[in-house]
Amino acid sequence: MGTAAELEASLREFAARGVVEVRENGSRLAPLSKLFWEVRGSGEKPLIHLWSEHYNVTRRVLAITDNSDQRLALAIERFGCSKPDRMEFVLVDFERDSRGLSREQFCDRMKNLLAEQFPDETLESLTTSSDLEHSLSGNYVRGLLRRDSTATALLAVSDGESSETVEGSLTFGLLWLERLRERVARGTVDGLRLVVPSRAAKMIRHVCGALKPGFRIELFEHDSVREIFHPVDLSRAGNLETRVVSRQESERLLERARPALNPILSIHPDAMSLHASTQSEEVWVRFRGLTVACWNPNRVSLFFGKATEGLCESSLPKFKKLLHDLEVHRHPLASDTRHPLYRPQPERWLEYIVSKDVIRIDAGLDPRLVYEQVLVNAGGEHGIIDLLAVTRSGRLAIIELKNSEHIHLPIQAAGYWLFIRRHLEQGNFQRCGYFPGIELQTAPPIVYLVAPAMRFHPSTDTLLRYFHPKLEVIQVGLAENWRRGLRVVLRR
């Protein structure tokens, strides 16, 4: 049997065994099930043609080098190249999703782009594999570039990823840099290069303003149409625009809403809280952090799980029953901690408790003046910052709360710190009615990261080491039963 006939017979038999993945020089191309294929020619060096909507590959087959139960390997030759390459058909347990494949394709494109745009550097490694032990996600392409005795950590994001993945690139870039500094024996890894999709660098550029002076970081946007990297000017880091919500506007909105909300607020006043949104002209009612009603100028909406009803004589008894159930099951001393009313919105519940007992976080904080959601993104509707407080000596304090491990908490807090520091310098808080009678210090805000002590992500300390010395961060670890009262068991 000639090579062409043997190859065609082997491919048909191999494809019938299960899920087969096509690889070229170690890089995945696609599942064989997604490709059309044919063997051309009858000689000893036939052509293999693989094609689909996204692929069109033709290679000359020099030899079949492996034909086992799990692998069919070919020595191939690209047109115009004299050096043999390798193509493999590998039996795998499951078919990779299209996003995983696009990351592999992006990784391959990055090899060529890096060689073209940084010809004086040598690419020593490039991978998309995850490394859970060191908190490194498989959503990114990670690599190491070397020039003489120094090296640069690389982390890149393809344009097919979500906005959350893009915004998380700085976190994972710093962790990748730290990992390389531990692992690389020759020379030093002295900086980080981030590559993100076109027009996606705004938030990352902003947070770079909170990194320590002298830290070498480069940010590029990848133009996938022209296949080129555009450098991002980091001199304007920290200048992302936000707006301080007017306290006077919030108070006026609350006063408008109170008459309509009083019938439900009076049922359990100690557990209920009001939260004004001047952007949407709404007031939200929460029961220990859980949203149960919403006022707008046209109506009061009551929330019964996924159902919503307007406040009226017929719905009020049903709503009172819900609040009774909440008082039983969403109570600090509730016995059934798995009840559906106990578990939702734990961070809102934690925010509710901290706002009413902030001196448990730090005795130096002023318990009279604690505000939530004081900023909004320019042009956006959603608020940012969990709680903004002030020390008894007049220094602003940012309190960021999490109930579970959150790898991006330090970077998120650093971005908020930049926002608050800028508005402090511009005098916007007192101009908008916050901290009446208090002379605010000009010192940068202090940041409190508050979470159950065992829920801080292991990478938190690593990320904090890259922050500006003026960004003072205090980690406050709470006992796990914080719903029954705040008890600090860790402070550093």
Q: What is the pLDDT of residues 365-422, one digit of tens each?
A: 999 999 998 887 644 434 567 899 999 999 999 999 999 999 999 999 999 999 999 9
The β-bridge partners of 31 are 21
Instruction: With CA atoms as reference, report the closest residue to 322 among 350, 352, 294, 293.
Output: 293
Q: What does the pLDDT read at residue 238?
A: 61
Intervals of the chain under pLDDT 50:
378-382
Sign of CA dihedral 331, 334, 339, 343: positive
C-alpha 355/C-alpha 263 separation (Å) is 24
Q: Exposed, middle or buried: residue 379 (CB in 10 Å: 0-12, 13-18, 19+)?
A: exposed
Helix (H) or strand (E) holding 415, with range, is: helix 409-425
Looking at every residue in the chain, the average pLDDT score rounds to 89
Q: Is 242 helix (H, G, I), strand (E, B) or coil?
A: strand
Instruction: With CA atoms as reference, report the closest residue to 263 among 308, 310, 320.
Output: 320
CATH classification of 3-95, choosing from 2.60.40, 2.70.180, 3.20.14, 1.25.40? Answer: 2.70.180
Q: What does the pLDDT read at residue 32?
A: 84
What is the Cα gyration radius of the chain?
29
Convert the pLDDT of each residue in 68-126 to its tens digit: 888 899 999 876 666 778 899 988 876 655 555 577 788 888 988 999 899 999 999 99
Diameter over CA atoms, the chain: 94
Provide φ and ψ at 298, rounded to 5°: -100, -30
Q: What does the pLDDT read at residue 249?
A: 93
How crowded is residue 325: how many other Cβ atoms within 10 Å of its Cβ?
13
How crowded is residue 237: how many other Cβ atoms within 10 Å of its Cβ?
19
Strands 282-287 and 387-390: unpaired
CA atoms within 13 A on the CB side of 459: 24
Distances (CA, A) of 322 to 17, 267, 287, 326, 443: 57, 11, 11, 6, 47
Q: Is 129 helix (H, G, I), strand (E, B) or coil?
A: coil
> What residues does each domain of the chain span?
3-95, 99-236, 245-329, 346-491
The β-bridge partners of 71 are 90
CATH no., domain 99-236: 3.40.1350.10
C-alpha 6/C-alpha 12 separation (Å) is 10
C-alpha 281/C-alpha 274 separation (Å) is 13
Q: Is 109 helix (H, G, I), strand (E, B) or coil?
A: helix
How crowded is residue 107: how many other Cβ atoms within 10 Å of its Cβ?
21
C-alpha 154/C-alpha 191 separation (Å) is 9
Task: Please tell me whether the overall predicted TM-score, pTM, comes out greater than 0.75 for this model.
Answer: yes
Distances (CA, A) of 84 to 23, 56, 76, 79, 428: 15, 19, 6, 10, 67
Helix (H) or strand (E) holding 452, with range, is: strand 446-452
The answer to whether 192 and 204 have CB atoms below 8 angstroms apart is no
Instruction: With CA atoms as reference, report the closest residue to 462 among 421, 385, 408.
Output: 408
Q: What does the pLDDT read at residue 306?
A: 79
Instruction: With CA atoms as reference, report the closest residue to 50 among 59, 62, 42, 41.
Output: 59
Q: Is 280 helix (H, G, I), strand (E, B) or coil?
A: coil
Identical fold at 3-95 and 346-491? no
Q: Is 73 helix (H, G, I), strand (E, B) or coil?
A: strand
CA angle, 341 as apex, 338 and 342 as ends, to 5°?
A: 50
* Fold of the domain spanning 346-491: Trna Endonuclease; Chain: A, domain 1 (3.40.1350)
Q: What does the pLDDT read at residue 43?
A: 73
388-406 burial, b at 16+ Cβ within 10 Å, e below that, comes to: bbbbeeebbbbbbbbbebb
Q: What does the pLDDT read at residue 45?
A: 87
Q: Crossing angle for the helix pair 316-329 and 247-265, nearest 10 degrees?
A: 100
